[in-house]
Structure 1
Amino acid sequence: MRQIQARHLAAACMLAALSAGASATDVFRLEGFGPISRAMGGTATAYDVGASGMMSNPATLSLMASGTQLHLGLDVVTTDIDTRNRATGETASSDTHSKNRGPYAAPEIAYTHRIGPWTLGAGAFAQGGLGTEYGKASFLSRTTSGANSQLENSSRLLVLNIPFAASYAVNDRLSVGGSLDAMWMGLNLDMLLGADQVGALIGGGRINGSLLPVLGSLPALDGAHFSVTKNQPIASGVDAWGVGAKLGLTYKLSTETTLGASYSLKSRISDLEGNATLTAVDRVAGKVPLAGKLRIRDLQMPASLTLGLSQRINDAWMVTADLSRVFWKDVMKNIDVGFEANGGGNLNILLPQEYKDQTILALGTAYRTGNWTLRGGARVASQALRPALLFAVIPATPTKHLSAGFSYDFSQQDSVHLAYSHAFEQSMSNASLPNTSAPIDVHHSQDNLTVAYTRRF
């Protein structure tokens, strides 16, 4: 009976994983992979988190028991995002207005096999993303003159990671590992820039191209809108494939104490490309749409370095800690947008971001009793975004999390794992051109539920 229930749970997880969007909480990165790590504050560098360890520290695969493991899971993220116009008191709420906005579901599937000193594995995980949906009736859709453009303001970034991992137990104390990752990134974006924002970008030397005089020739330019969106579960307006890689090690100081270290290399993803529409909004000529191709140049996931520790207090109780440095500064200086109109002409825009590198401290604990393992954790990060460069459609601001979860072993082969984490509300204000026209306060919190089934062979 237990085996039948476990098979039904695995099938449900697999079916649910086929429909996916994404969101993230460490800027664009999920704050842990798999329910074991997530429940323990995202720690994963110096203890066995199962097959999902290939996403954090591949060397932890050598801490798994011999044999084969199948991991099937699903992440569900629900966001609560509001943007308030400080001048008028109006609020724009990010909500579900179309097919591809929250709650966001991210799949997890992985397979590992350990034989002798080697452990090999492959998987597919959502590494992170972002999502907002403000619709087309809020103050964010108004042009500089105050007219409602009836144009959407929304975003969805999805990053999928397909690691091929290997770990080698050098001896009883030391293990080393690495992974080569196929990566896919997709972006949907609808964003209105007021004429004052366009003017500020031009004045800062951030817009050029043969279409710039065309915009300047309009009698009363009031705004410009980019639309590059597919309202589908995964397919995105612009997307691209690339590669990433991770290296890691674990070292047992004693039977109770393990150290870990991992380094994720900066991704190498091609420019995101797809069809788009640039709409000039003019007070006299109305809306003037231009169809064409849009390219987001050199949008990458950052390198990161993590050091970790796990300490067994006794046979039932363990505590863990990870300290990470994420190098956002190297990958998020600007959002580099290139537009080529089908009828000829181009426009290049640099949207300033200037992210700061981020430091993250994660703490976790686990207590085993009978067939149950109970877990809890906390996570605190420095802020990577700069308030003066905040976009309402890119509010990746939460920095504080609490988490809890459990595992239950139906048998020696079958287990179910669950984790819940809460990102506490983070507020940020921006009253500066060019990234906002109206002075705004953005409030962002979210809840994350992760479930997985593991089968050992």
Structure 2
Amino acid sequence: MKTMKWLGFAVLGIMFVSPPAFATNGMNLEGYGPVATGVGGASMAYDNGTFGMMNNPATLGLGAQGDRLDVALSFLGPNVTSKMSGMSDAKSSADLFIMPGIGYVKNIGMMAYGLGIYAQGGMGTEYAADSFMAAGSGDKARSELSVGRLVIPFVMEVDKKTKVAVSLEGVWAGLDLKMPMSGTQFMSMMPGQSQTSGTVSGTMISGFQSYMAAGMITGLNWGRFDFSNSSDFTGEARGYGVAAKVGGVHKVNDQLTLGAAYHSKTALGDLESDNAKATFNVVMGGAATTIPVSGKIAVKNFEWPQTIGLGAAFQATKELLVVADYKWINWKNTMKNFAMTFTADSTQSNAAAAGFAGSAVDATLFQNWKDQNVFMVGLGYKVSEPFTVRAGANIGNNPIPDTYLNALFPAIVKNHYTLGAGYAIDKSSGVDAALSYAPEVKATAGSGVTNTHSQKSAQVMYSYRF
């Protein structure tokens, strides 16, 4: 009971400082936990610790009987640069993120259950205010999306060879966004225009167009949406919801184990903030005038996709474990559009914004992501009784069509190559670590902006059994 009480306080603490995690398999991490990450992220059919809650919860029943507590830290180092012909390169300064994770499992043989909290994934970049990404607005361009899960798994033994599991999960998402757009791009999204990259509509846009028709506004230099806080751990706009997983493992013989898991699509509420701003720099009376409109933001219909994972683990020798997984991620269903509604406050502190008080704008950026197929293979070799080494590869397709690539959300990494190791300190404790490298990929958006993205990451975990 003391252990569960301590774990509860630790979990609550991590929930309130849940940090961002960044894109590898789309917006997912390439591996959850250093054991799985060390073998390319494969995790469906063998014991990979309490991080099995994020992979296949049925694997929690494959561990030794008793209690297990894992405490982990992950370090992600994305390297993202945006380029445009005739402009100086814009390098993202968002290059290091640290994420904690914690999990507890009690295995009593016929069943296992537990509690854990982990980072699911996300995206993020930050470009300087004097870069071309700022579109002349004089303020930086920034995105930071983070998604986390509180997982409660339950595992049952069907027979000596088969275990099945279900997990119920609380999900939360946070988003910071400082998104500038050139006047040309913003105007192209209005009704009656080309709308190749997205759309804007609503009473604010109708009012804007009426001002232009009357000659009060004769041009638009840039526009931007801003909702961002200074926290390293929580986004300005936040939403909450639920999800679930089901999984199973089957031991074919003493050497071969098969596993499968289904992760449901999340049911998240809108990501909302009362501290947002829509700003426009327009030409009025022949002079550039900035109109800052304060209000509320709601990011609509943002969900994490359903996922299916299949895998096998083959104990080739006493020392050598060979693992392989396939994962299908249904991004097409959840990442068709990025949609948000900005509603202006009824009272505006800036006189220039008074004409927009109480109005609203619905903004949609087309995404049209493709489903992702990820193949994971790896080896684990026990060098000695306490020491194990691991290596693996994680091969996937880029889910983002070049046409709709947004430099604020460049989740275009394809492949990862991983190394890992584990050391048993004694019978009750041990450490595991993993390194991952994603080679640089390059893609050019329909806007003409070219993104390059490579990434290094590391994970370390301490385990205690009692």
Please, what TM-score do these two structures have when normalized by structure 1? 0.91
Displacement of 1:273: 0.3
Q: Which amino acid in structure 2 is aligned with residue 115 of structure 1? A: I
1:395 to 410, 413, 431: 410
Residue number in structure 2 paired with 1:6: none
Q: Distance in 1 between matches of 2:278 and 2:442?
A: 31
Match of 2:160 in 1: 172
Whole-angstrom distance in 2 between the partners of 1:385 and 1:294: 25
After TM superposition, give the deviation of residue 199 of structure 1 in Å.
Answer: 2.2
| Residue 445 (structure 1) aligned with residue 454 (structure 2) | yes
CA distance in 1, matches of 2:70, 2:203: 52
Long gaps (5+) in structure 2: 1-9, 212-216, 347-357
Seen in structure 2, the aligned counterparts of structure 1 residues 19 and 272 have a Cα distance that, compared at 3 Å, is closer
- The one-letter code of the counterpart of 1:341 is A
Structure 2 residue 365 is the aligned partner of structure 1 residue 356:
no
5 Å-filtered alignment, 1:247-266, equals 247-266=246-265
Return the offset for 1:21. 3.0
The partner residue of 2:119 within 115, 122, 126 is 126
Superposed displacement of residue 20, structure 1: 3.0
Counterpart amino acid of 2:301? D
Offset at 1:196? 1.5
How far apart are residue 214 of structure 1 and its match? 3.1
| Other-structure match for 2:321 | 318
Stretches of structure 1 lacking an aligned partner (at least 5 in a row): 1-10, 96-100, 143-147
Shift of 1:178: 1.1
3-state SS of 1:206 partner: strand
Instruction: Give the alignment of 1:53-452 within 5 angstroms.
Output: 53-85=52-84, 87-95=85-93, 101-142=94-135, 148-202=136-190, 203=193, 204=195, 206-216=199-209, 217=211, 218-274=217-273, 275-283=275-283, 284-343=287-346, 344-370=358-384, 371-430=386-445, 432=446, 436=447, 439-452=448-461
Structure 2 counterpart of 1:92, one-letter code? A
State the distance in 2 between where 1:29 and 1:23 align: 7
2:3 maps to which residue? none
What letter is aligned with 1:453? Y
Task: Work out whether residues 19 and 105 of structure 1, in 8 Å CA contact, stay in contact via their aligned partners in 2.
Answer: no
Contact 2:337/2:366 (<8 A) preserved: yes
CA distance in 2 between partners of 1:169 and 1:327 (Å): 30
Give the deviation of 1:24 after TM superposition: 2.6
State the AA in 2 paired with 1:90: S
Tell me if structure 2 keeps the 8 A contact 1:219–1:285.
no
Counterpart CA distance in 1 for 2:51 and 2:301 is 28
Distance 1:313 1:215 in 2: 68
| Mapped partners of 2:41, 2:189: distance in 1 | 39
1:18 shift after superposition = 5.4
Structure 1 distance, partners of 2:205, 2:436, is: 46
Aligned mates of 1:18, 1:411 — CA distance in 2: 32
Deviations 1:191-223 (A, max 9, x none): 111122112212238221110133332332112
Q: 1:196 aligns to what SS in structure 2? A: helix
What is the letter of the counterpart of residue 422 of structure 1?
Y
SS at structure 1 position matched to 2:427: coil
- Asked if the contact 1:416–1:452 (Cα under 8 Å) also holds between the matched residues in 2, the reply is yes
CA distance in 2, matches of 1:364, 1:232: 37
Contact 2:23–2:413 (CA<8 Å) still a contact in 1? no
The Cα of 1:19 is off from its aligned counterpart by 7.3
CA displacement at 1:27 relative to structure 2: 1.1
Q: Give the C-alpha shift of residue 159 in structure 1.
A: 0.3
Rounded Cα–Cα distance in structure 1 between residues aligned with 2:19 and 2:95 = 10
The total of aligned residue pairs comes to: 427
How far is 1:361 from its partner? Answer: 0.3
Residue pair 2:297, 2:342 contacting (<8 A) in 1 also:
yes
CA contact (8 A) 1:83 1:392 kept: yes
How big is each residue's C-alpha offset from its partner over 1:261-288, in whole Å with a ceiling of 9 and x where there is no partner? 1000000110000021100012434211
Q: Deviations over 1:377-423 (max 9, x none)?
A: 00110120000101110000001100001000000101011000011
Q: In the aligned structure 1, how far is the partner of 2:72 from the partner of 2:102? A: 6
Secondary structure of 1:82's counterpart equals strand
- Asked if structure 1 preserves the Cα contact closer than 8 Å seen for 2:71 and 2:461, the reply is yes
Matched, 1:28 2:27: yes
- Structure 2 vs 1, CA of residues 293 and 18 (structure 1 numbering), >3 Å: closer, same or farther? closer
SS in structure 2 of the partner of residue 247 of structure 1:
strand
CA distance in 1: counterparts of 2:241 and 2:300, whole angstroms: 13
Aligned to 2:37: 38
| Per-residue deviation, residues 105-127 of structure 1 (Å, max 9, x unmatched) | 11110000011310001100000
Are the aligned partners of 1:151 and 1:225 in contact in 2 as well (CA < 8 Å)? no
- C-alpha contact (below 8 Å) 2:165/2:246 kept by paired residues: yes
Q: After superposition, give the CA deviation of every residue in 1:32-84 in whole Å (9 maximum; x if it has no partner).
A: 11100011100000011011101110000110110000000011101100001
Alignment RMSD: 1.5
Normalised to the residue count of structure 2, the TM-score between the two structures is: 0.89
Distance 1:194 1:248 in 2: 47
1:280 is matched by which residue type in structure 2? F
